[in-house]
């Protein structure tokens, strides 16, 4: 309630602005009245006594006209002074209510902002007041929700990273302690197992660094015109030996005359290799992986289709989230930390494309799609 008294506060300034407006109006009215009242009185006299009354009037009559003129002007001025005072009083009350209407939602917004700044991310501002103020509060709440979400993700990330570090570190500690206590043989096999865990930690550190760089927008794209067929050929050349070794067929279906896309070839290759690596990992020997690229509107759409273990419907919406793994125990053993697809998503979106996954269910294989804009759209 005492907010409006605060020096320089919005309510105080609104009140002052209203008062100045009313005072200016009252002074103008008074000035205009004093200026026009005598002639108005004369016109009234003419209307009452006729246009030639002054010619027939005696000295007493003229004197009386002067006196009534002065009285009329004074009465007008007094009436105006009284009505102006009443108007100012009413205006102060109306102005107080109106400034309260404006200032109260803003004060609530201020309190909410202060609480959020102090770390209370659940705080929201009441959506009240006039149209703009209500919109401001709604927008503020959207921003607060985004902040809360970012904070939750930050906390979750720290928890996830700690969790990911704990398992390999515990394994390494187990082997080293076993060797110190002479329970485990310090032979080549043991050291190879230790090295495996160290490499997993190294991979995790590298993935996390890459993810933070991509998500922070620190990855500069060297965008050029890239032929989809050339990209697929490069991915094929990299991964063919691994597919052959596991006994999984890898096929590419790309029309040679497909228009070029606007992309950083290294980054798109990274996405393709990641998707193909996953397809290989989750497809048993004897299976097949097909890479397809077709024109779809203003984009080229890639599809990496496998005949592997498939993905149950409940996991599909979460697959691109950080550290999300369908079968945590199994995939940890095979090396994935659940960051690969998150990086792919960030990279594709950085190019202005989209990425998504479809699967008919467990045992039905999976298809990962992503799009990249055609080159001419950027020319
Ligand atoms: P990871 O490094 O653990 O593979 P990703 O982010 O690449 O992490 O993948 C997240 C999860 O998505 C994997 O743990 C796996 O459960 C699932 N997944 C990814 N690709 C496939 C696929 N082709 N078939 C079945 N499941 C897959």
How confident is the model over 65-111, as pLDDT tens digits?
788 888 888 888 888 888 888 888 888 888 888 888 888 888 889 99
282 CA from centroid of ligand 1 (Å): 8
Q: What is the pLDDT of residue 270?
A: 93
> Does pLDDT of 3 surpass 60?
no
Q: Is 366 in the pocket of ligand 1 (CB under 6 A)?
A: yes
Torsion 264-265-270-275 (CA) sign: positive
Q: Is 326 in the pocket of ligand 1 (CB under 6 A)?
A: yes
* Atom number in ligand 1 closest to CA 328: 14
Which residues are CB-neighbours of 261 under 8 A, at least 6 positions away?
A: 225, 226, 228, 268, 299, 300, 372, 373, 374, 375
Asked if residue 334 has pLDDT above 60, the reply is: no
**The two structure tokens encoding residue 223:** 């965008």
pLDDT at 1 (0 to 100): 46
Q: Which atom of ligand 1 is nearest to the CA of 282?
A: 24
For range 151-177, the mean pLDDT: 88
Q: Pick the more confident residue, 275 or 31.
A: 275
Q: Hey, which of 160, 318, 336, 368 would you mutate to test ligand 1's pocket, going by the most ligand atoms within 8 Å of its Cβ?
A: 336
- pTM to 2 decimal places: 0.66
User: Are 367 and 309 contacting, i.e. CB atoms less than 8 angstroms apart?
Assistant: no
For the ranges 109-118, 150-159, 168-177, 185-194, which has the lowest average pLDDT?
150-159
pLDDT band at 262 (very low <50, low <70, confident <90, very high): very high
Q: 306 in ligand 1 pocket by Cβ < 6 Å?
A: yes
* Secondary structure class of 259 (helix, strand, coil): coil
239 lines ligand 1 (CB under 6 A): no
Look at residue 253 and tell me whether its pLDDT is greater than 60: yes
């Amino acid at each position: 309630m005492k907010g409006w008294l605060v020096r320089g506060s919005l309510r105080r300034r609104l009140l002052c602005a209203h008062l100045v407006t009313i005072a200016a109006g009252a002074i103008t009215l008074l000035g205009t009245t004093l200026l026009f009242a005598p002639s108005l009185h004369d016109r009234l006299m003419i209307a009452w006594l006729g246009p030639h009354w002054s010619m027939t009037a005696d000295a007493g009559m003229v004197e009386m006209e002067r006196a009534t003129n002065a009285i009329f002007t004074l009465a007008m001025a007094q009436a105006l002074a009284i009505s102006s005072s009443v108007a100012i009083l009413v205006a102060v009350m109306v102005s107080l209510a109106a400034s309260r209407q404006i200032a109260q939602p803003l004060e609530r917004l201020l309190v909410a902002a202060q609480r959020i700044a102090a770390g209370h991310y659940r705080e929201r501002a009441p959506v009240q007041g006039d149209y703009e103020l209500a919109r401001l509060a709604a927008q503020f709440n959207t921003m607060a929700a985004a902040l809360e979400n970012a904070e939750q993700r930050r906390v979750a990330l720290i928890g996830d990273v700690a969790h990911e570090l704990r398992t390999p570190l515990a394994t390494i500690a187990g082997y080293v302690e076993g060797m110190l206590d002479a329970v485990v043989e310090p032979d080549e096999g043991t050291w190879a197992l230790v090295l495996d865990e160290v490499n997993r930690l190294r991979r995790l550190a590298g993935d996390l660094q890459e993810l933070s760089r991509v998500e922070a927008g620190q990855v500069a794209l060297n965008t050029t015109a890239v032929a989809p067929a050339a990209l697929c050929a490069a991915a094929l050349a990299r991964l063919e030996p691994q597919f052959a070794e596991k006994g999984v067929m890898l096929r590419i279906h790309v029309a040679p005359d497909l228009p070029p896309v606007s992309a950083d070839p290294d980054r798109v290759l990274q996405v393709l290799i990641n998707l193909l690596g996953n397809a290989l990992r989750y497809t048993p020997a004897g299976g097949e992986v097909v890479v397809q690229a077709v024109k779809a509107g203003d984009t080229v759409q890639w599809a990496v289709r496998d005949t592997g273990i498939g993905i149950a419907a409940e996991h599909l919406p979460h697959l691109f989230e950080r550290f999300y793994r369908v079968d945590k125990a199994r995939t940890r053993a095979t090396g994935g930390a659940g960051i690969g697809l998150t990086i792919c998503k960030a990279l594709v979106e950085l190019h202005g494309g989209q990425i998504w996954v479809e699967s008919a269910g467990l045992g039905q294989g999976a298809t990962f799609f992503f799009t990249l804009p055609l080159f001419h759209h950027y020319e």
